[in-house]
Amino acid sequence: MTYKIYTLGCKVNEYESEVMENILIKAGYKKSDSPSICIVNTCTVTNTADSKSRKLIRSIKKNFPNALVIVVGCLIQNRPEVLEELEIDIALGNKDKSKIIDYINNYEEKITKLYDISEMDFEDMDLSSSNLTRAYIKIQDGCDNYCAYCIIPYVRGHVRSKNKDNVIKEAKQLIKNGHKEIVLTGIHTGNYHDNNYDFADLLNELVKLDNLKRLRISSIEVTELNDKVLKILRESNILVNHMHIPLQSGSNAILKAMNRKYDTNYFINKIKEIRSIRPNISITTDVIVGFPGETEKMFNETIKTINDIKFTKLHVFPYSKREGTRAANMSNQVDSNVKKQRVKVLLELSKKLEQEYMDKYIGKEVEIIPETYQDGYLIGHTENFLLIKTRGNEKDLNKIIKVKALKDEYPYLFCENIKELVK
């Protein structure tokens, strides 16, 4: 039997797809571009994500009419009514992805399995090896923040976390299998807890593992960067020189309407505290434009806040109305053309900020872990997430090599391989 997995959305989905792939391979299935089984791990964070998921499923059914089509994830959890429209063979929400083989083996007629997401325990999954240079570990699921714009708490459920011993065991196995960098991911990663053992306790234990070279946090809320986390940032160079901290808006009025748990002063002061520990740290962020009621003045406040903080890169999203969220019923919805224009402005600002940060490293030596090899070039990231392109050999993939930055070739920082394998 052959399979192909399609993944949309976040790093949590990527991790869960890799888990399903590991399970299929262990059961003797072979990856193929002409599959007999197609699995789609869907996203529903925006209307665009919904549309992409549905379009992909229709395309698969057209291209592989005889394949068993399995659709899992957030779209199914959020909008089960699409099942009849899409004629899915097996449909699972956000539970039982780790039991994918059981559903395949027991398939005789259409299966739909949806659970009450509000009452779910953490579904334990683990990876012994990853297809990616940066190996992800999902340590947490769910969110209790209920930001006014966000559908995710309704499709991922309440906060629940992986047993700490299982996280450490999984990390050790990934390191043993050659992974030098581990990324901790979840829906609300910094809210990890296992009884009285919290996120900082987990970081502190992971940075001490033998042969782990880099530990990265996929995303963390600014309110969770407490003294315990910052102490690890100060004392361990295993925790990388990069953090992704969502801002969402630089206007206090919009932050309050969004039900975010901070204001701009709190955010700015926390970033100053971080940079007092790591002056050259790369800080990337998420920004939503066109939230209901966002005026031109408020948008300009966001631009000012971004410029004051000097992020390294912005991930920009136009507000997407999600039925069932508080923001969906708010008045003063922003015109779509206005949202598009504001997205364009922030993307241009993001490029400017990226290049300013990149240019600081021209002429300097940096270490990268090459992730891909294309036409004589190695491409990979530094610990502070600069995207590097350098001439090299395929044999050096997944090793740590030292390079010297020569010039800005956006989105790459073009480097000279100084042929010194450092680790």
pLDDT for the residue numbered 128:
79
Q: Which two tokens stand for residue 169?
A: 């065991």
Q: Are 37 and 29 in contact (CB under 8 A)?
A: yes
pLDDT for the residue numbered 117:
86
User: Which pTM was predicted?
Assistant: 0.95
What is 134-359's CATH superfamily?
A: tm_1862 like domain (3.80.30.20)
pLDDT for the residue numbered 423:
56
* Cα–Cα nearest to 368, from 417, 312, 410: 417
134-359 and 365-421, same CATH topology: no
pLDDT for the residue numbered 130:
79
Each of the 423 residues of the chain gets a pLDDT tens digit; together they read 999 999 999 999 999 999 999 999 999 999 999 999 999 999 999 999 999 999 999 999 999 999 999 999 999 999 988 887 888 999 999 999 999 999 999 999 999 999 998 888 999 999 877 777 889 999 999 999 999 999 999 999 999 999 999 999 999 999 999 999 999 999 999 999 999 999 999 999 999 999 999 999 999 999 999 999 999 999 999 999 999 999 999 999 999 999 999 999 999 999 999 999 999 999 999 999 999 999 999 999 999 999 999 999 999 999 999 999 999 999 999 999 999 999 999 999 999 999 999 999 999 999 999 999 999 999 999 999 999 999 999 999 999 999 999 999 999 999 998 766 565
Topology adopted by domain 365-421: OB fold (Dihydrolipoamide Acetyltransferase, E2P) (2.40.50)
For residue 411, say if its preceding peptide bond is cis, omega within 30 degrees of 0. Answer: yes
> In a 10 Å sphere around its CB, with 0-12 CB exposed, 13-18 middle and 19+ buried, how is residue 196 labelled?
exposed
Q: Hey, is 61 helix, strand or coil?
A: helix
**Cα–Cα dist 220/185, whole Å:** 9
**Cα–Cα dist 161/124, whole Å:** 9
Q: Are 9 and 43 in contact (CB under 8 A)?
A: yes
**Torsional class of 192: left (φ above 0), alpha (ψ -120 to 50), beta (otherwise):** beta
Q: Hey, is 233 helix, strand or coil?
A: helix
Domain boundaries, the chain: 2-115, 134-359, 365-421
**Which residue is listed with tokens 């997430």?**
385
What is 2-115's CATH superfamily?
A: Methylthiotransferase, N-terminal domain (3.40.50.12160)
**Cα–Cα dist 405/366, whole Å:** 7
Q: Are 294 and 309 in contact (CB under 8 A)?
A: no
pLDDT for the residue numbered 83:
81
pLDDT for the residue numbered 373:
95
Inter-helix orientation angle 199-206/227-235, to 10°: 10
**Cα–Cα dist 185/136, whole Å:** 7
pLDDT for the residue numbered 421:
59
> In a 10 Å sphere around its CB, with 0-12 CB exposed, 13-18 middle and 19+ buried, how is residue 335 labelled?
exposed
Amino acid code (one letter) for 37: I
Size (the chain), residues: 423
